[in-house]
Each structure stands twice: as structure tokens, then as C-alpha cells.
Amino acid sequence: MKSFVFVAVVLCALGAASCSKLPPDGQDEAVAAHGSIEVTARLIEIPGEFPPNKLYDYAYVLKYQILKVHRGQLSGDTVLVGHYNPLKPRAKAADKRVEGIGGNLQRFKAGDVHRMALEPSIDEAYMGGTLNEYAEKEKGPVRWAVWTNLVTQP
């Protein structure tokens, strides 16, 4: 009887894991359909703590190492990307002010790899508060993250 219970628990766990399995390369229909640039990139660092969303919603700029450009054009080895409401999972980050963003990423962690659909300029895509710790140090455009998926196998 004990072995039957063990086998049942293992099968249930495997079934749950397979249902929630993310695409290993972060590719899905949504990331391919959004934005004009699609890239796989490693999050280099989070330059500070994300402020709470109690007072206002904001975009936070993060720095990525470009691993592969899937469509569109990016130059250089790194890219600055603005993410709206970074404390929220990407699937819950959109609201009535900023619609159409999403993804399967649950939380930002330095070193993780993300597959992202981007717009070329945060200034053209977003009218709101932006926290950019790189503004003084890094030149070049800040891209706008439309869709962000976690890559489990880069």
C-alpha cells in the first residue's frame, strides 16, 4: 500500500510539473507577436531596489547582455530595457494606464536569461515615471519591454 501511495504522489507531481512547464527557450506566440525587436538576453544586474508600487506606477531600467537577436536590430553587446511595474509578475504588470505587456516571468533576478519583445524607445511607448540608474553612465536608447519570458535553457 505504501508503494502505491508513493507512486501516486510521484505521478501527480510529474503531471503538475509538466502542465506548468515553460518553453525552455522562452519562445511562444506572444513574444513573437509583440514589439518590433525580439531578443534573448542575460540580466546583468539590478542596480538598486525596486520601490514599492504604493505611491505610483513606474518603469525601471535594467541592463542586459545580448545573447541573440531573433528579429529587428540591436547594436552592441548590451541593451538597456525599461520594465513597467517590475515588482509584479509580467502577466499581472499591465493595467489601465499601460496595456499589452506581459510574459511568464515571475520576478527579476540578476543572472537570469529572458526572451523579450521590445519596442525601440521607451520614450515613444511609455508616458510615465522612469527610474534609470544608468542615465549618467550609459549612452544610447532605453528599449521598452512589451513581453518578457524566462529562458530555462539558453
Could you tell me the maximum CA-CA distance found in the chain, to the nearest angstrom? 66
Question: What's the one-letter identity of residue 28?
Answer: D
pLDDT, tens digit only, all 154 positions of the chain: 444 433 333 334 334 333 446 679 999 999 999 999 999 999 999 999 999 877 788 999 999 999 999 999 999 999 999 999 999 999 999 999 999 999 999 999 999 999 999 999 999 999 999 999 999 998 889 999 999 999 998 7
pTM for this predicted structure: 0.85
Decide: 103 and 118 in contact? Cβ < 8 Å: no
> What does the alpha-carbon distance between residue 62 and residue 17 come to, in Å, rounded to a whole number?
30
Decide: 116 and 38 in contact? Cβ < 8 Å: yes
- SS3 state of residue 117: strand
> What does the alpha-carbon distance between residue 91 and residue 119 come to, in Å, rounded to a whole number?
18
Domains and CATH numbers, the chain: 24-151 (2.40.50)
